[in-house]
Amino acid sequence: MSTRKHSTIYRKDYQVPDFLINELHLDFILSDKDCVVHAKTVFQKNPDSQVTSGDLFLHGQGLELLNIAVDGVELSSDNYQLTNDGVILPGMSDTFILDLSTRIYPDKNTELEGLYRSSGNFCTQCEAEGFRKITYYLDRPDVMARFTTRIEASKTSCPVLLSNGNLVEEGDLEEGRHFVIWEDPFPKPSYLFALVAGDLVSLNDSFETMSGREIDLKIFVEKRNRNKCGHAMTSLKKSMQWDEEKFGLEYDLDMYMIVAVDDFNMGAMENKGLNVFNSKYVLASKETATDQDYLGIEGVIGHEYFHNWTGNRVTCRDWFQLSLKEGLTVFRDQEFSSDMNSRAIQRIEDVRVLRNFQFREDAGPMAHPVRPDSFVEINNFYTVTIYNKGAEVIRMMHTLLGAENFRKGMDLYFKRHDGQAVTCDDFVSAIADASGVDLEQFKLWHSQSGTPELQIEEHWNSNSGEYRLEIAQTCPSTPGQLQENKKAFHIPLCFGLLDSAGKDMNPGKDVLHFRSERESYSFENLPEKPVLSLLRGFSAPVKIMPWQDREQLAFLMANDSDPFNRWDAAFRLSEAVILEITKSLQNGESPTLDPLFVAAVKRILTDQRSDKSLLGMALILPEENYLAQQMTVIDPDNLHEGRKFVRQELCRVLHGEFRQIWEENCDQGEYKLTPESMGKRRLKNVCLSYLLAGNAPDQTDVELALRQYYDGQNMTDIIAVLAAISNCEIPERLELLEHFYEKWKDDVLVMDKWLTLQATSSLPGTLASVQELMKHPAFSITNPNKVRSLIGAFGSNHVCFHRDNGEGYCFLAEQILALDSRNPQIASRLTTPFSTWKRYDGARQVLMKKQLQRIADKKGLSGDVSEMVRRSLHVCFFPNS
């Protein structure tokens, strides 16, 4: 175990590298037992470095050093010093060539970082700091070099040999071996290096760029998956087209390759010219993938493609600037998906992620700024804050500038920084300089953590027709940042004022710039008291303390011209209703459902004009994980019962309506991925879930569900039945789970869905069945997708994970401990459900803390997991505790 792993690194300590690297020649000799890597690196003293000693430190981890030579002269072991995280070469001259040979063992690599094997094939994952597991190197993003990569391997086991850039040479060798040489003309940081070697086939296509260049597109997969790449290829071509049209950005190599692998820690990786993907984000057919899967593939393919400019051509100076590439690229993929599908639905989905996960992170011990000030393990900072809040920060700049000025800002950013490694501040400067918009105060979004909270007061003077809005902002304390020291954010508030007929009264003037702790806005000469539609399109990542009454929310649901806010009004109304019912259950009262709410839901069900996916979205109640955050002391049992009561009551009172909508949207004809078709399926399947909302639903509804299951022509409709029935205590539940397993047991991605459905069931036997499934052939502890689908999904099961006997906590802790040494990145992500432990009742706090302590006490715990549990145990800011 290295010492550096557990120490904190600070952004303020950044120093330029002492040496730079012009070029690097890599040679990989692959065999079944190991891999020998030769690296020839041309070093040069960095003119910007103040250090004069000439000492060179290279990162390296878990490497077997075979040979090391400087300018052709082999070094004896007293000429260098090996440390536990690298090697020190003292007193180097201003330019020199380093020759290194190391041996690594891809087969033994269970962390899936560096060079490893997945289903027998070799692949790499170097972001963030995995390249140092391949060879000794200046493994930091501000060192950019031109890479040449030679690979040699057996022709039979590895017919395909890939790396970044262009293929410049290939040929046969003795003993059934062959080699290739790839050359990447673009200087890049080591985290963008990739190598793939294995028995793969490719789907091939091409794309003509706006300047008329022909690009070869290839998606590599295992042979059996060849017929499932069509959607990924279409998505890639759409991404290339979109980036040209929206940002004038063209692809820059002659070939773009994507490889799908089953064992992958994250979603996908943007390695230059050679993306490596989790197969979940490549493979799809209507029989095996849901509408959500299709959209996910399109989004991730876009995301990785867009990184070619935002991330690769312009990269990050250091890992504290991670959001420079991730926030911006998420913003770009969200915009792409909005243009390809439904903008309103995309926005709703993105805001759900933000509220369910990012707001929770921002309110707990892991809260950090979009540009963090420190970290122990960078892998822990690939967070919803960096990605999704980072995207919101870009979106706000877009709102403040307008589309045209934003584009000018992007153009200037590329013009200034192409080929450089830069900071979040550099991005803001380019945007500000190109547009003339002052963004000094706005930058607080990068440095202050926590979700701002807004208080609203309305004043109406019927004599003068003056409507006055008083808005106050605060931001709760977060680790390292006290509330009283935080400054006011610059918050763009898009809004509308509706008259009693539901029409907008204020055309034109629709963004308030809220920049101080408290501000007052007046609107004069209004003919009647308006209804305020605030934060249209969710124009800023803030919480607004509830201020509107239920009549106003129902009115906005029916009338707001902003589709996002129509949905949001339904969300806020449902939230209020469920929390109220939960409270009455806690008080031992028998709850009743507010007739105003029932009427509002009925209006959705009988709405003939609105878009069906929007109606479907409006019928989905806020998730338990979100609602829990709104409670002073989280009470998982009553919250679950409260939410379930609302669903069952709606089903009882509006049964006929749910049935009718289900029937009307039942026959789909041909499977299409248009927003209309997806909208119909969503609406129909939401209605189905209400019909099966009770423990023991109507037999006629069960039969209708069975019909949809057995007649289903696509995975969306089939999984919808399984998801609904997985919470019912009826014999058909096991029958369908069995049937589904038999039918799909050979498809690992479909099996992931099967595991998740069982792990997220609210039935009392869930933990026991999760424990059984751990031994099932469909599960494998070595595959991250399986771990997420079963163990991760159980951790997000708000009712079963939090059973008051603590068995869920104990189970999760055991799994984290078991995974810690095998794959620390994955183990670390499983700790999230523990992070909010202080928000629960005293008895649960004791139980969760005990498990956190148990994990913390493990000898040799990874830096990844240790950072998470230590923060959870020792950070004391919990806003509601």
Q: Which residues are catalytic?
A: 304
Question: For residues 127 and 152, which CB has a smaller minimum distance to ligand TRP in the complex?
Answer: 127
Label residue 112 exposed, middle or buried (CB < 10 Å: 0-12, 13-18, 19+).
buried
* Minimum separation from the CB atom of position 9 to ligand TRP (A): 16
Give phi and psi for 685, each to the nearest 5: -75, -30
Interface residue with ligand TRP, options 379, 533, 548, 625 (CB under 6 A) = 379
Question: For residues 293 and 326, which CB has a smaller minimum distance to Zn ion in the complex?
Answer: 326
Give phi and psi for 492, each to the nearest 5: -80, 120
> What residue 268 binds from ligand TRP, Zn ion, none (CB within 5 to 8 A, per partner kind)?
ligand TRP
- Binding segment toward ligand TRP, per CB under 6 A, in 123-131, 179-187, 567-575, 726-734: 123-131
Interface residue with ligand TRP, options 262, 291, 304, 867 (CB under 6 A) = 304
* Minimum separation from the CB atom of position 384 to Zn ion (A): 13
CA dist., res. 535 & res. 453, Å (int): 13
DSSP-based helix, strand, coil % in the chain, nearest 5 = 45, 20, 35
Label residue 187 exposed, middle or buried (CB < 10 Å: 0-12, 13-18, 19+).
middle
Question: For residues 330 and 702, which CB has a smaller minimum distance to ligand TRP in the complex?
Answer: 330
Tokens 């590298």 sit at which residue? 17
Question: For residues 326 and 335, which CB has a smaller minimum distance to Zn ion in the complex?
Answer: 326
- How many residues does this entry show for the chain? 881
CA dist., res. 293 & res. 287, Å (int): 12
- Binding segment toward ligand TRP, per CB under 6 A, in 262-270, 752-760, 795-803, 848-856: 262-270
Contact 252, 319 (CB under 8 A): no
- Binding segment toward ligand TRP, per CB under 6 A, in 264-272, 696-704, 753-761, 869-877: 264-272
HSE, CB side, 13 Å, CA atoms: give it for residue 112. Answer: 28
CA dist., res. 649 & res. 598, Å (int): 9
Interface residue with ligand TRP, options 111, 326, 560, 624 (CB under 6 A) = 326
Find the residue with minimal CB distance to ligand TRP. Answer: 266
Q: Is 270 in the site for ligand TRP (CB under 6 A)?
A: yes
Q: Is 71 left (phi over 0), alpha (psi -120 to 50) or beta?
A: left
- Binding segment toward ligand TRP, per CB under 6 A, in 121-129, 163-171, 235-243, 552-560: 121-129
Copy the structure tokens of residue 256. Answer: 């773009």
Interface pattern 328-347 for Zn ion (x via CB under 5 A): -x------------------
Q: Is 269 in the site for ligand TRP (CB under 6 A)?
A: yes
Question: For residues 268 and 728, which CB has a smaller minimum distance to Zn ion in the complex?
Answer: 268
C-alpha pair distances (Å), 313 with each of 202, 244, 249, 370: 26, 15, 11, 22
- What's 609's DSSP letter? S
* Minimum separation from the CB atom of position 126 to ligand TRP (A): 8
CA dist., res. 320 & res. 690, Å (int): 45
Question: For residues 100 and 386, which CB has a smaller minimum distance to Zn ion in the complex?
Answer: 386
Interface pattern 289-328 for Zn ion (x via CB under 5 A): -------------------------------------x--
Q: Which of residues 768-797 bind ligand TRP (CB under 6 A)?
A: none
Contact 553, 572 (CB under 8 A): yes
* Minimum separation from the CB atom of position 300 to ligand TRP (A): 7
Q: Is 266 in the site for ligand TRP (CB under 6 A)?
A: yes
* Minimum separation from the CB atom of position 93 to Zn ion (A): 38
State whether residue 640 is helix, strand or coil. helix
Question: For residues 387 and 801, which CB has a smaller minimum distance to ligand TRP in the complex?
Answer: 387
Q: Is 265 in the site for ligand TRP (CB under 6 A)?
A: yes
Q: Is 128 in the site for ligand TRP (CB under 6 A)?
A: yes
C-alpha pair distances (Å), 857 with each of 797, 862, 873, 874: 26, 11, 12, 14
Question: For residues 326 and 361, which CB has a smaller minimum distance to Zn ion in the complex?
Answer: 326
CA dist., res. 322 & res. 829, Å (int): 18
Q: Is 127 in the site for ligand TRP (CB under 6 A)?
A: yes
Give phi and psi for 33, each to the nearest 5: -100, -25
* Minimum separation from the CB atom of position 276 to Zn ion (A): 13
* Minimum separation from the CB atom of position 788 to ligand TRP (A): 14
Q: Which of residues 284-303 bind ligand TRP (CB under 6 A)?
A: 303
Question: For residues 733 and 788, which CB has a smaller minimum distance to ligand TRP in the complex?
Answer: 788
State whether residue 759 is helix, strand or coil. helix
Closest CA to 121 of 177, 197, 178, 176: 197
- E-strand stretches of 199-254: 201-208, 214-221
Q: Is 268 in the site for ligand TRP (CB under 6 A)?
A: yes
- What radius of gyration do the chain's Cα atoms show? 28
Q: Which amino acid would we find at residue 782?
A: T
Question: For residues 124 and 726, which CB has a smaller minimum distance to ligand TRP in the complex?
Answer: 124
* Minimum separation from the CB atom of position 191 to ligand TRP (A): 8
**By rule CB under 5 A, what count of residues binds Zn ion?**
2
Question: For residues 96 and 277, which CB has a smaller minimum distance to Zn ion in the complex?
Answer: 277
* Minimum separation from the CB atom of position 116 to ligand TRP (A): 12
C-alpha pair distances (Å), 105 with each of 30, 54, 330: 10, 32, 34
Burial 76-111 (b: 16+ CB within 10 A, else e): eeeebeeeebbbebeebeeebebbbbbebebeebbb
- Binding segment toward ligand TRP, per CB under 6 A, in 156-164, 268-276, 740-748, 846-854: 268-276
CA dist., res. 280 & res. 263, Å (int): 10
Closest CA to 751 of 704, 719, 728, 712: 719
> What residue 324 binds from Zn ion, ligand TRP, none (CB within 5 to 8 A, per partner kind)?
none
> What residue 265 binds from Zn ion, ligand TRP, none (CB within 5 to 8 A, per partner kind)?
ligand TRP
DSSP for 340-379, written as a single string: HS-HHHHHHHHHHHIIIIIHHHHTSTT---SS-SEES-GG
* Minimum separation from the CB atom of position 84 to ligand TRP (A): 21
CA dist., res. 488 & res. 475, Å (int): 8
- Binding segment toward ligand TRP, per CB under 6 A, in 122-130, 228-236, 708-716, 858-866: 122-130
Copy the structure tokens of residue 503. Answer: 């029409």
> What residue 747 binds from ligand TRP, Zn ion, none (CB within 5 to 8 A, per partner kind)?
none
* Minimum separation from the CB atom of position 86 to ligand TRP (A): 20
Q: Is 382 in the site for ligand TRP (CB under 6 A)?
A: yes
Q: Is 282 in the site for ligand TRP (CB under 6 A)?
A: no
Q: Is 125 in the site for ligand TRP (CB under 6 A)?
A: yes
Question: For residues 46 and 121, which CB has a smaller minimum distance to ligand TRP in the complex?
Answer: 121
Contact 726, 758 (CB under 8 A): yes
Q: Which residues bind Zn ion (CB under 5 A)?
A: 326, 329
Q: Which residues bind ligand TRP (CB under 6 A)?
A: 125, 127-128, 265-266, 268-270, 303-304, 326, 379, 382
